[in-house]
Amino acid sequence: MSARTRGHVALVGAGPGDPGLLTLKAARAIARCDVLVYDYLAAAPIVALAPPDCERIYVGKKLGAHTLLQDEINALLVRLGREGRRVVRLKGGDPFVFGRGGEEAEALAEAGLPFEIIPGISSALAGPAYAGIPLTHRAHNTAFTVATGHEDPLKGLSTLDFARLANPAQTLVLLMAMANLREIAEHLQAHGLPGETPVAIVREGTKPQQETLVATLATIVVEAERRGIGAPAVVVIGEVVRLRDRLRWFDAHPLFGKRILLTRARGDGDDLAAKLWEIGAEPLIAPTIAIVPPDDLAPAEIAVREARIFHWIVFTSRYGVDAFFDRLSASGGDARALGDVSIAAIGPKTAEQLMRHGVRADFVPPRYVSEEVAGGLLERTEPGARILLYRAQEARDTLPEMLRAEGRRVDVVAAYKTVVVRDDAIAEAASAADVWTFTSASTVRAFLENVAGAAQLSAGKTVACIGPITAEAARESGLRVDIVAEEYTYEGLFEALESALSPTG
């Protein structure tokens, strides 16, 4: 049997939960796999990196609820490998740190199947770091130990050496310890670790749901029961826990723990979603609109072919840029077809998209509204100048009317159109969210078509809009608008959210 026929299995660490902590090598492996076998702890944005036609098999295991037993998972990986598939076994944290990856690797080795191990960041390291607790510090400890608090039940009595673990000169990190926390605390105190030793429980570390409880070895069990803190959690025991008050950073951000609804088109604003993850907010991706070709493609295609007849071409979104150059490429052309035509971009993101096609915008207005665009174009053109607006089919006519009023010849061409995405999940996400964000008037209208009683549901929510036009559409629809970004970009919207929701904002 050839290696090609046998396939290949990668045991990949997904990290502790924050998608940004996934390694580059892991992301590449996921992006080219045929089958993804994944765990409960693998974050949805990481699972989404798999190709659209990839077979996804969930084998998540939680305490007392296993989709498949470990032996069944081992057999599944062997079978898939023998079928010649490229398999990624995606495991929370690191495969070889209490992840039973060693057992899966043994099964693959015994079957003679090629495999590789792609390490991930263990929650033993990441959980304390995101809670502001360094595992080592010259003033407090000389070592740290990582141990499991949930051993193989078939072994009977615990094999943990509590006499060695009860060492005040080291930091002790325990994984999967919540079920046995009382016994562990008692054993450590019985072996001489003082009851006043600081202890932290970091639950759902690196995620927007992260919760940190600090107590002492003598009080941690009672406090955890009182707060209702359970698994998955990392327990940190040692003097370094005292540093949390000064070093906490992740859960100190004003957007930490906020569930923020993103209603833009799928794939748009991914940078904003990534930034929200980084500071502990949870982006709820609920695309309300999709970008499709216009009703009549002919004018858009003619405008591309005859681009040189215009003095200026104005792009009002990156979608228009992509539509223009897709059609130009399909006809065998490239940026040279523009000749000496001047180019305007509505904003920096549209200008960036032009640069990806080798075109530098000649004009980007300081504010991304029709009045600013019109003023800039009028300053740069003479009456009779021919201007092409390559834009959305449903866009407002404010800009062309302003230009025509000053004697410019304006051709308005629909490059694409925006359509409503209908999905029951949008209403569910809206209900769960703390913050609703809207990035265009079309996202507002599409949202309202998906969410019955949106105005009533918005009570208790924060509603944020990317600019005044979007805010006007929201208010006309009966929504109360709390935040309007001063800079009409995703970065501006993010900064407006930070400022408004900060305790000192």
Name the residue among 1, 64, 7, 4 with its Cα closest to residue 37. Answer: 7
Q: Among residues of the chain, what percentage have pLDDT more than 90? A: 79
Tens digit of each residue's pLDDT (9 = 90 or more) over 414-458: 999 999 999 999 999 999 999 999 998 999 999 999 999 999 999
Is-contact 469 492, C-beta < 8 A? no
Name the residue among 397, 353, 395, 402 with its Cα closest to residue 376. Answer: 402
Tens digit of each residue's pLDDT (9 = 90 or more) over 125-135: 999 999 999 99
Tens digit of each residue's pLDDT (9 = 90 or more) over 224-271: 999 999 989 999 999 999 999 999 999 999 999 999 999 988 777 678
Please determine, for residue 151, whether its predicted confidence score (pLDDT) is greater than 70: no
d(CA 196, CA 212): 18
Residues, the chain: 505
Tens digit of each residue's pLDDT (9 = 90 or more) over 386-415: 999 999 998 888 899 999 999 999 999 999
| Residue 296 annotated among the catalytic residues of the structure | no
Name the residue among 294, 290, 272 with its Cα closest to residue 281. Answer: 272
d(CA 41, CA 30): 16
d(CA 310, CA 411): 9
Please determine, for residue 485, whether its predicted confidence score (pLDDT) is greater than 60: yes
Backbone angles phi, psi at 194, to 5 degrees: -60, 145
Residue 436's alpha-carbon distances to 271, 377, 454, in angstroms, are 17, 34, 11
Name the residue among 187, 129, 136 with its Cα closest to residue 158. Answer: 187
The more confidently predicted of residues 62 and 308 is 308
Domains and CATH numbers, the chain: 3-121 (3.40.1010.10), 125-252 (3.30.950.10), 259-288+421-501 (3.40.50.10090), 294-418 (3.40.50.10090)
Instruction: Catalytic residue, from 61, 275, 411, 434: name it.
Output: 61
| Residue 326 annotated among the catalytic residues of the structure | no
- Amino acid occupying residue 240: V
Cβ-in-10-Å burial (0-12, 13-18, 19+) of 100 comes to: middle
Instruction: Catalytic residue, from 39, 94, 251, 268: name it.
Output: 39
* Planar angle of CA 388, 391, 393, nearest 5 degrees: 120
Which residues, at least 6 apart from 277, have a Cβ–Cβ distance to it below 8 Å? Answer: 18, 19, 20, 45, 208, 283
Where in 240-353 does DSSP place strands (E)? 259-262, 282-285, 289-292, 312-315, 342-345
The sign of the CA dihedral 285, 286, 290, 291 is negative
Averaged pLDDT, 178-201? 96
Which pTM does this prediction carry?
Answer: 0.81
Q: Give the pLDDT score at 403.
A: 96
Where in 160-256 does DSSP place strands (E)? 170-175, 198-203, 211-216, 233-237
For residue 190 the two structure tokens come to 């019985």
Q: Give the pLDDT score at 75.
A: 96
Question: What is the crossing angle of helices 370-380 and 398-405, to 10°?
Answer: 30
